[in-house]
Structure 1
Amino acid sequence: MAAIYVDVISPLGPRIQVTGSPAVLQSPQVQAKVRATLLAGIRAAVLWHQVGGGRLQLMFSRNRLTTQAKQILAHLTPEL
C-alpha cells in the first residue's frame, strides 16, 4: 500500500509533514506504515464522500461514530 501512495498520491500535491523523531522516521518500515496509513485515510474519505457523507454529517454524528468504533475495537481486541 505504501508503494501505491508513493506512485499515485504523493505526486498530486504538497507533501504532508510528519513530525516525530528523525531516527525513527528514517526507518523504511516506519515510512511504509505512515504512507499506508495516509493512503487508508484518503481511501476512507473518498468512500465516505461516495456514500453521501459530508463534513457536517461527520461533525454532528461524531459521538455516535466514536461509540460505534469503540464497540468494534472491543470485539476485535481480546481483554487482558
Structure 2
Amino acid sequence: MVRPFTQEDVDKRIVTAAGDTVGTVRGVEDGRATVERTDDDESLTDEIKEMLGWSDDDDTYELTGDDVEEYEDGNRIRLPGYTG
C-alpha cells in the first residue's frame, strides 16, 4: 500500500499504468476512495475491472491504497500495471 486516500485526492483522475483515465475520485472516507467511472469502457479492460472487483453495471466504485501504484504529482493516481 502506498498510503490511504485523503480528502486531498478528491477530484483526481484514476489512470491505468498506460495513462488511460478510468475514473475520478468523488469522495474519501476512512482512507477509501469512491471513484466515479468516467470512461466509456474503451480504456477499462476486463482484466483491470476483474482485479478491482468492478462490474459493467455500476458507475461508482471503491478503491483503497492497496489498489494504487503511485500518487503522481498533479491530479493523477496511477493503478499498477497488469499482465495477463
TM-score normalised according to structure 2 size: 0.26
Which one has a larger percent helix, Structure 1 or Structure 2? 1
Larger Rg: 1
Which one has a larger percent strand, Structure 1 or Structure 2? 2
